[in-house]
């Protein structure tokens, strides 16, 4: 585990430790909470054969969409890729392996890894095509499907505020998968719009305690792509 | 004369009552926001992690970190909360969301729903639809009565992969509102300008119709 006082670093130094073939959890639901700056640094540095775990595939020209378009992703574990035309084409052409999970199961599988559990038992998806291939067990007179936790080498998360120890505070619907992934990976790299000195955050309001976070980088909200593609109802 | 979608939405809005926790699916159901009276005390759940979504006031600037599950900018109403995705689905699985509205490719007489995959043609993933369909007590399907080729979407048996079995409570189309009951699909309301025979002809499942009790909409 990274020492408390060694976590705050330059974005390129943080991303440079990611290797080819890494499995990487990426926060975000659509644009909010997607760590765009960390993903751009990953695109720049050229790591290949990646497995990404993200709720969705962003849109084709932002976020993980750029990595998929550049042929850098072999496998995507997700709940929905409908807004990314390129990801659908890559999947249909057999160049991208896509593993679909119902969104709540995906979240819980990641949460379970972060909580140090093997997995959980669920009745979600029993009797449907998407639930096929799972091991089922009878317990207390009911049938349950076994859902193992999802682990990863690295998590890339976006927070609103942080301190240099790596305590994180999220905001609005940018919370989504970020606090779950921030507990589930071997190494957690967080970007935040502001990184304060220790003591600069209210202890009771911290969502992710710094014990889970390996590296923290500060990014400029003005250069962020987040929310760019939202629309009015 | 309202459009088909306006007719569906106006009828659907009647299913929402004060005090409820409501989930609105992506697409047409999201537009129900425009049919909720501003003073109606309901909390709209969005599975990306909000309870208490509301439309942004006209002219107000959008917060880029506040969207609903369909990617639209939203605001929050008094009493709202925001939370992570695991908690959002715990709320669904623990049946704390009272009613949800979603679209359909096919829905059948037993209340089976197919709305996520057309093998070989459309398989972008399932998002949060499975948990919502399986665990929300009241699922209202909002869809056109027939597909763009005129084929019925309401069938004796769904042919496409199911989102969840036996999950639908009510189906609202531009032609009718139909309740799923143990004995089959019971027509509650029929469109103002439609005959019972025309409704039956446009539907791929047997319908239970008691003309003496039939509402119009």
pLDDT score at A73: 98
In a domain, A187, yes or no: yes
pLDDT digit string (tens) for B9-39? 999 999 999 999 999 999 899 999 999 998 9
Asked if residue A104 belongs to a domain, the reply is yes
Work out the percent of chain A whose per-residue pLDDT is above 90. Answer: 90
Contacts of A3 (CB under 8 A, 6+ apart): none
What CA–CA distances, in Å, run from B89 to A108, A204, B133? 8, 24, 12
pLDDT for position A227: 45
Structural domain includes residue A183: yes
Q: Which residue of B has its CA nearest to A104?
A: B89
Q: Do B130 and A173 touch (CB under 8 A)?
A: no
pLDDT digits (tens, 9 = 90+) for A92-146: 999 999 999 999 999 999 999 999 999 999 999 999 998 889 999 999 999 999 9
Alpha-carbon separation of residue B55 from A17, A125, B31, B35, B96 (angstroms): 43, 32, 10, 11, 22
Chain centroid, CA B109 distance in Å: 17
Average of per-residue pLDDT values in chain A:
94
Nearest-angstrom CA–CA distance, A31 and B111: 34
pLDDT at A17: 93
Q: How many domains does chain A have?
A: 1
CA-wise closest residue to B46 among B94, B5, B1, B97:
B97
Q: Is the residue at A162 inside a domain? A: yes
A217 closest CA partner among A24, A16, A73: A16
A223 within domain boundaries: no
Q: Which of B86, B117, B127 sits opposite A180 (nearest CB)?
A: B86
Comparing CB atoms, the residue among B64, B67, B130 nearest residue A102 is B130
Q: Which domain holds residue A200?
A: 4-118+149-218
Strand order across the beta sheet in which B106-108 lies: B113-114, B106-108, B154-155
The answer to whether B5 contacts chain A (CB < 8 Å) is: no
Mind listing the pLDDT tens digit for each residue in A179-213? 999 999 999 999 999 999 999 999 999 999 999 99
Structurally, chain B folds into a number of domains equal to: 1
Percent of chain B with pLDDT over 70: 100
For residue A228, pLDDT beyond 60: no
Which residue range(s) make up the domain with B120? 4-216
Interstrand relation of B138-142 and B99-102 (parallel, antiparallel or unpaired): parallel
Q: For residue A55, tell me if it sits in a domain.
A: yes
How many beta-carbon pairs below 8 A join chains A and B? 158
CB contact under 8 A, A104 and B68: no
Q: What ipTM does the predicted assembly reach? A: 0.95
Q: How confident is the model at residue B61 (pLDDT cuts 50, 70, 90)?
A: confident
B70 neighbourhood in chain A, CB within 8 Å: 233
Query: What is the reported pLDDT for A224?
Result: 61
Residue A74 domain flag: yes
Query: Whole-model pTM?
Result: 0.96
Q: What angle do the packed helices B85-93 and A103-114 form, to 10 degrees?
A: 120
* Contacts with A, B 186-205, CB within 8 Å: none
Phi-psi region of A140 (alpha: psi -120 to 50; beta: other; left: phi over 0): left
pLDDT of residue A223: 66
A190: Cβ contacts below 8 Å, ≥ 6 apart: A35, A157, A158, A159, A162, A166, A168, A182, A208, A213, A215, A216, A217
Tens digit of each residue's pLDDT (9 = 90 or more) over A14-29 = 999 999 999 999 999 9
pLDDT of amino acid A2: 75
Residue of B nearest to A92 (CA): B120
pLDDT tens readout for residues B91-127: 999 999 999 999 999 999 999 999 999 998 888 999 9
Output the domain CATH number for residue B131: 3.40.1080.10
In a domain, A94, yes or no: yes
Closest CA to A182 of A196, A198, A202, A162: A162
Give the pLDDT band (50/70/90) at residue B57.
Answer: confident
CATH code, A57: 3.40.1080.10
The set of residues, in sequence order, having a beta carbon less than 8 Å from that of B161 and lying 6+ positions away, is A128, A129, A130, B114, B116, B117, B119
| pLDDT value at residue B208 | 98
Residue A164's pLDDT is what? 97
Distance of CA B153 to the CA centre of its chain: 14
Tokens describing residue B167:
């999950």
- Positive or negative, the CA dihedral A44, A46, A49, A51 is negative
Q: Which of B27, B30, B48 is most worth mutating to test chain A (most A CB atoms within 10 A of its CB)?
A: B48
Mean pLDDT of B170-198: 97
User: Which has more confidence, A72 or B58?
Assistant: A72
């Amino acid at each position: 585990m990274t020492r408390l006082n060694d976590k705050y670093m330059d974005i390129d130094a943080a991303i440079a430790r990611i290797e080819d073939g890494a499995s990487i959890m990426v926060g975000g639901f659509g644009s909010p909470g997607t760590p765009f700056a960390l993903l751009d640094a990953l695109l720049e540095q050229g790591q290949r054969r990646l497995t990404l775990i993200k709720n969705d595939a962003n849109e084709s020209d932002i976020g993980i969409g750029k990595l998929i378009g550049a042929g850098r992703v072999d496998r995507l574990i997700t709940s929905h890729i409908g807004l990314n035309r390129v990801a659908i084409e890559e999947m249909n052409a057999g160049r991208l392996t896509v593993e679909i999970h119902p969104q709540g199961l995906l979240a819980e599988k990641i949460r379970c890894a972060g909580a140090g559990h093997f997995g959980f038992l669920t009745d979600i998806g029993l009797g449907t095509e998407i639930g096929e291939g799972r091991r089922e067990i009878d317990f207390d007179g009911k049938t349950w499907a076994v859902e193992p936790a999802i682990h990863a080498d690295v998590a890339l998360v976006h927070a609103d505020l942080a301190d240099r120890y790596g305590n994180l505070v999220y905001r609005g619907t940018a919370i989504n998968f970020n606090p779950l992934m921030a507990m589930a990976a071997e190494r957690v790299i967080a970007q935040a719009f502001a990184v304060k000195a220790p003591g600069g955050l209210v202890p009771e309001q911290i969502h992710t305690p710094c014990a889970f976070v390996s590296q923290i980088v500060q990014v400029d909200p003005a250069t962020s792509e987040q929310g760019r593609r939202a629309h009015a109802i | 004369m309202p459009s088909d979608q306006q007719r569906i939405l106006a009828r659907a809005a009647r299913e929402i009552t004060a005090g409820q926790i409501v989930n609105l699916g992506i697409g047409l159901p999201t537009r129900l926001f425009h049919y909720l009276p501003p003073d109606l005390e309901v909390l709209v759940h969005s599975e990306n992690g909000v309870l208490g979504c509301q439309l942004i006031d006209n002219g107000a600037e959008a917060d880029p970190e506040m969207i609903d599950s369909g990617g639209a900018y939203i605001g929050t109403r008094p009493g709202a909360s925001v939370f992570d995705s695991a908690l959002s689905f715990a709320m669904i699985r623990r049946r704390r969301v009272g009613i949800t509205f979603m679209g359909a490719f096919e829905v059948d007489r037993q209340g089976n729903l197919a709305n996520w995959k057309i093998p070989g043609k459309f398989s972008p993933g399932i998002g949060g639809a499975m948990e919502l369909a399986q665990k929300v007590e009241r699922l209202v399907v909002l869809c056109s009565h027939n597909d763009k080729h005129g084929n019925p979407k309401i069938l004796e048996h769904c042919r496409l992969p199911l989102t969840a079995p036996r999950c639908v409570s009510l189906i609202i189309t531009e032609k009718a509102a139909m309740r799923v009951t143990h004995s089959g699909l019971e027509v509650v309301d029929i469109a103002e300008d439609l005959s019972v025979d025309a409704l039956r002809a446009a539907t791929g499942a047997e319908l239970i119709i008691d003309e003496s009790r039939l509402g119009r909409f």
